[in-house]
Amino acid sequence: MSSARIVRSARDSLVLRPDIEDEDEPEDPHLGLGSRGGRPRARPPKAMRRQDRILLFLEKISVSFDGFKALNDLTLYIRQGELRCVIGPNGAGKTTIMDIITGKTRPDSGSAWFTRDLNLLENDEVAIAQAGIGRKFQKPSVFENLTVFQNLELALAGSKSVWRTFRARLEAGEIEFIDEILGRIALRDERGRQTGLLSHGQKQWLEIGMILAQRPKLLLLDEPVAGMAPAEIDRTVELLRDLEGAHSIMVVEHDMEFVRAIARETVTVLHQGAVLAEGSMDFVQKHPAVIEAYLGEALC
Ligand SMILES: Nc1ncnc2c1ncn2[C@@H]1O[C@H](COP(=O)(O)OP(=O)(O)O)[C@@H](O)[C@H]1O
Ligand SMILES: [Mg+2]
């Protein structure tokens, strides 16, 4: 049976989309009825029902800026607990993927879901963050005048005001949680230190810690080792290995050596806004198209 339903597109116009029949599961009475005024809602992609373990679903995403296609029909799935590396030359569209996932940029077409419940194209940045997607931008954004501990305390408080946060006493469980994060990000000895005095690498770890304080299901890390000293890069490899499994992580990187150190499963190579190759690090590094795309760039 073919049918169609009207759904709201990323650009907030109503479009007609084919209705996907689902033979595997009984009809969910809540699906198809949006909470806002009962308007029709797009349904989660079928693949996510079949394979429960997919956490992030991006399908046929395209976006143009002034006629330039930054993403071109991009499809990418990330499973629960997976550490996915996305590599690619400068300008390949890596950061743009994160902008789409977090609601910062709306695609021209395609679909994007986070779990079965959250249509990323129908939610704003705040709702997406609250649903469990934490993002680390390239430049660390920490409060330099506060101590390391205070930064984590603030992140833990989330939406509470700064004033309320510092007036309220932390519960024992919260102190324990912050302590656990400090251990993970190798900053236990620096807990009382003013953040502005930390090294660049330490600030990057603190920011990762601040995201962890919000207990994300998915962490998006954009070039986490850019500008780091070699010893700091090694420590970051350890940190990511430690987080793997407990969180789903998408690491966008330009540094192939770093990617080789952390990638145990799938690496996605992006080129001109599309997936050029996907597979193990060995597979993609030997792929002729990947070598060509990286021509002139350092390929280890
Ligand atoms: N908001 C934007 N406005 C205009 N152009 C953009 C915007 N975001 C990205 N681009 C362009 O899209 C392309 C991909 O950018 P980006 O995703 O930042 O690449 P990467 O992170 O892989 O280096 C680049 O050519 C960039 O200039
Ligand atoms: Mg980038």
Q: How far is the CA of 45 from the centre of ligand 2 (A)?
A: 28
pTM of structure: 0.82
pLDDT at 170: 75
pLDDT at 18: 33
Nearest residue (CA) to ligand 1, atom 4: 65
pLDDT at 19: 36
Q: How far is the CA of 100 from the centre of ligand 1 (A)?
A: 12
Of the ligands numbered here, which is closest to the C-alpha atom of 99? 1
Q: How far is the CA of 273 from the centre of ligand 1 (A)?
A: 9
Q: How far is the CA of 66 from the centre of ligand 2 (A)?
A: 18
The answer to whether the CB of 195 falls within 8 A of the CB of 144 is yes
Residues with CB under 6 A from ligand 1: 65, 70, 88, 90-96
Residue ranges of the chain whose pLDDT lies below 70: 1-52, 159-168, 295-300
| Burial class for 4, CB neighbours closer than 10 Å (0-12, 13-18, 19+) | exposed
pLDDT at 163: 56
Nearest residue (CA) to ligand 1, atom 25: 91
What distance in Å separates the CA atoms of residue 213 and residue 205, rounded to the nearest whole number?
12
